Amino acid sequence: MSHDLINRYQKSFRLQFHNAETESKYRDMQEQSGRNSCVLAFGALMLLCLAYAYLEMRAFGHDVPIPMYGYFLAALLAFANLLLSWFSSQSHYQGMRLIGNGVLAMGTVVGAVYLQKYSAYHAIEFVLLAVWFGSLVPVRLFITFAVNAALAIAFVGAMYVKDVSGFWISLVAVLLVTAVLLSAYIAYLNQRVRRQLFLQAEINKSMTNRQELWAFTLIDLDLALSGILDFKELIALLKKHLEPVIEFDSYVLTSLDGQGPKPVADKVEGELFENDDKTIWSEDLLGKLTQTRQATVSAEHETVKGLLGMEKQRFISYRLDVPVFNDSRLMGVISLRRESQPFDDLDMIASVSIAAQAMLIFKRSTRGSAMVVDQTVPDPVIRPKKADDSTTTTISSSESKDMEVTDHSFAESDQTLVPRDVITKFKKEEETVKKTITLMSRENADKIAVDRYRTAAVEGEPLSILIIEVDGLSKLREQDGDQVAYKVFAAIVKYIFSKVDKEKDILGRYGQNGLSVLMPKVDMNAAEKFAEMVRQFVANARYKTAYGEKSATLSIGVAAITDDTGDYGSMVKRADMALFVAKKNGRNCVKVRL
């Protein structure tokens, strides 16, 4: 639902919504939220009827008391309905109660004209009640007009029966017709305004929901797309991640690699693209996507023959084209179509954001399956907390000792995760290198973690996971270069590695600036304490680099296996959500997701 829906509604004179679902939702809302308006309507009617009863008593006394009693009865009924609307949470046919009470009051005015001598204040009373009818929220426009018109005819008929002069009958008839039309116009404006407010509220709610889905989708992408090395497979998987955020009827994508200036579709879903007999992506469109690096929207039409053979344009669908970039190179295009409403700004921004996030994950996956931390990484230095303490505390030799972590589950018995020629190169370049720490790739760490999770679930043992992100590492990389960021990140990895159980715990890469720590036989409380200990150490540490001392902080999300976890993926997702909350709460903190 977009703002275009309000614009189209404002340009039309139609009262009801074209969309049946939206109309049904509006009426349900009116049934639920009409309580306050009914209280005000019945209160106003009660006051009017009491005032009319007083006028009848002053004008005719007890000579013709029936109209006075009729007004009192209408006021009493309005008071009872007011109490019912006030104290009851149910609607209880509020529209029918308003119509019935209003007809009784207006019928009393007609009866007063018939039983008594016509007076000008009778017409004024009728006009006020007609306007009251037009201001009713739960009553539809057609019913308002029909009731007012029928009672106005009855009013004029009563005047005719009482032999009122033709001049007064004509004058009153014109007055009542004006009152009926004015009442209908008030009812029309009232409902139009309420419907526009309803549309705005629905759009705001929809925008909020879509923004939340957008945030969750960006989080889910890292788990779903990590390890994928084929670009066509990557953009094909983007469809299911676009669906929760962007509504579309048809979907088509292409990978531009090797296709030339006129690419063809790699995958087509939906009828709106199936009948295209021309190139879906023109050179102008590809040029525009390359220059702007933003999604483009358009409305597509086709030429058809109309009346007397004249050509006219027939609307087909709205279209959204999303570019997929790898750095400055346009790698592919995803195009979406729908018939219901135009694509809005959120659709454009979210689609480009999701595509960009997917490409970042793809780039990380293609850089290699492992990362090596060498002994040339400086050990972090903890600054003294007291002013009179001039010594500095460093990690002990046993803690800072480099170790070689081998992914035995997925490599041959005589190989580590890192190719042997790479390790040999490092040994030749750095004589001081004794051993290496190999941080597993996300894919391999997850494979081991799934087995550990299944074992813990079967044996009923605790299992926890930490997802750690180094705050501000991207900014450090931009300011001082990759080497400085690498040394800070590697030093943090060395410290965490020195503190975990080497026999059980699994360390793997997680995103560009983070890592995951799977801790078998460790419950959530112990995992949270461990995470807090690591966070405090890193927050107080300083790292010597070529550009001076640098510092860093950690945002950590913690989750553990529970009876309701479901599977390893859902546990990771909860830890990821805890990390998301930690970053939203100012970073440099530990958050737990139950």
Both tokens of 515, joined, read 């890592």
User: Sheet holding 381-382: strands in order across?
Assistant: 393-394, 381-382, 541-545, 548-550
Between 111 and 236, residue with greater pLDDT: 111
**pLDDT, position 31:** 67
| pLDDT value, residue 426 | 44
Show the 3-state SS of 217-277.
Answer: HHHHHHHHHCCCCCHHHHHHHHHHHHCCCCCCCEEEEEECCCCCCCCCCCEEECHHHHCCC
Question: Residues 6 or more apart from 284 whose CB is under 8 A from it?
Answer: none
Q: Which two tokens stand for residue 336?
A: 């979406």
Say which range, 279-288, 457-466, 520-529, 574-583, has the weakest mean pLDDT: 279-288
* CATH number for the domain whose boundaries are 238-366: 3.30.450.40
Helix (H) or strand (E) holding 335: strand 329-338
Phi, psi of 152 (to 5 degrees): -65, -40
pLDDT reading at 394 higher than 70:
no
User: What is the average per-residue pLDDT within 129-155?
Assistant: 88
Report how far residue 223's alpha carbon sits from residue 413's, in angstroms, rounded to the nearest whole number: 28
- Mean pLDDT on 186-200: 84
Residue 137: φ, ψ to 5°: -80, -45
pLDDT at 47: 94
Which string of b and e fits 247-265 if b means at least 16 CB within 10 Å?
Answer: bbbbbbbbbbeeeeeebeb
Backbone angles phi, psi at 319, to 5 degrees: -130, 140
Give the Å distances, CA to CA, from 206 to 87, 159, 197, 297, 305: 32, 55, 14, 20, 39
Q: pLDDT of 380-392, one tens digit each?
A: 655 544 444 433 3
The answer, yes or no, to whether residue 376 has pLDDT greater than 60, is no
Q: Is the pLDDT of residue 154 over 80?
A: yes
Mean pLDDT taken over the chain: 79
Least confident of 42-56, 66-80, 393-407, 486-500: 393-407
| pTM: predicted TM-score of the whole model, two decimal places | 0.45
Identify the band that residue 408 occupies on the pLDDT scale cut at 50, 70 and 90. very low
CA dist., res. 4 & res. 26, Å (int): 18
Q: What percent of the chain has pLDDT over 90?
A: 20
Q: Which range among 379-388, 397-406, 523-532 has the greatest average pLDDT?
A: 523-532
Residues 574-583, mean pLDDT to the nearest whole number:
89
What is the share, in percent, of the chain residues with pLDDT greater than 70? 80
Q: What are the residue ranges spanned by the domains of the chain?
A: 3-203, 238-366, 370-592
Residue 313's nearest CA partner among 327, 294, 332, 300 is 300
Burial of 388 from C-beta contacts in 10 A (0-12 / 13-18 / 19+) = exposed
What is the average pLDDT across 306-329? 79
Dump pLDDT digits (tens) for 430-461: 443 334 566 788 888 888 888 888 888 888 88
Question: Mind listing the pLDDT tens digit for each residue in 34-66?
Answer: 667 788 889 999 999 999 998 888 876 667 788
Q: What's the CATH superfamily of 370-592?
A: Reverse transcriptase/Diguanylate cyclase domain (3.30.70.270)
Q: How many residues can be counted in the chain? A: 594
User: Is it the case that residue 67 has pLDDT exceeding 70?
Assistant: yes
pLDDT at position 562 is 80
Mean pLDDT, to the nearest integer, of 254-273? 74
